[in-house]
Amino acid sequence: MPPRTNFATMRCPVARTMAVVGERWSILVLREAFYGATRFDEFERNLGIAPNILSARLRSLTEHGVLEKLPHAGGYRITEKGRDFFPAFLALKRWGDRWMTDERGPLIVLEERETGREVTAPPVLASNGQPLMPEHVRVLPGPGANSAIRTRFPPKDC
């Protein structure tokens, strides 16, 4: 069997992101944190996850600065870095609510506390207000691109 690729050592930020949140339990742990869980037993009960796996996921998310351990309370809190993942979580939830639910609909609905309005991830829109799809996007090298990326995605005429 070939060795596993270590995404954490890749230059690509998407690959490095997957090293942090790509393990199948990580996003579910974050889901529970977004839904208000703070204590180990809450995560364990809500996820039905084995304690050793939960410990590993909480440790990893803490080491990567997505969660922080609260020494006095014995729980966990979402950091700024973790809170910044919330729109990505909403996008995943929106996709799952559309494509992965049965005829009864979503299991969970999120609403704003103050207004009671449903919270959903907005669709990605082009500058003209129309939905933006992959075929409408041009991929260009960014300021941190190396020569391989610059060769792969050379600037093109509009």
- Tens digits of per-residue pLDDT, 56-103? 999 999 999 999 999 887 899 999 999 999 999 999 999 999 999 999
Q: What is the dihedral of CA 47, 35, 123, 105, to 10 degrees?
A: 60
Model confidence over 106-121: pLDDT tens digits?
A: 999 999 999 999 998 9
Burial of 106 (C-beta count, 10 Å sphere; 0-12/13-18/19+)? middle
Length of the chain: 158
Predicted pLDDT of residue 157: 62
pTM for the full model?
0.87
Q: Is it the case that residue 49 has pLDDT exceeding 80?
A: yes
R_g (Cα) of the chain, nearest Å: 19
Give the C-alpha separation, 28 to 77, whole Å. 15
Where exactly are the structural domains of the chain?
7-83, 90-158
Considering the segment(s) 7-83 as one domain, its CATH architecture is: Orthogonal Bundle (1.10)
Question: Phi/psi at 74 (nearest 5 deg)?
Answer: 70, 20
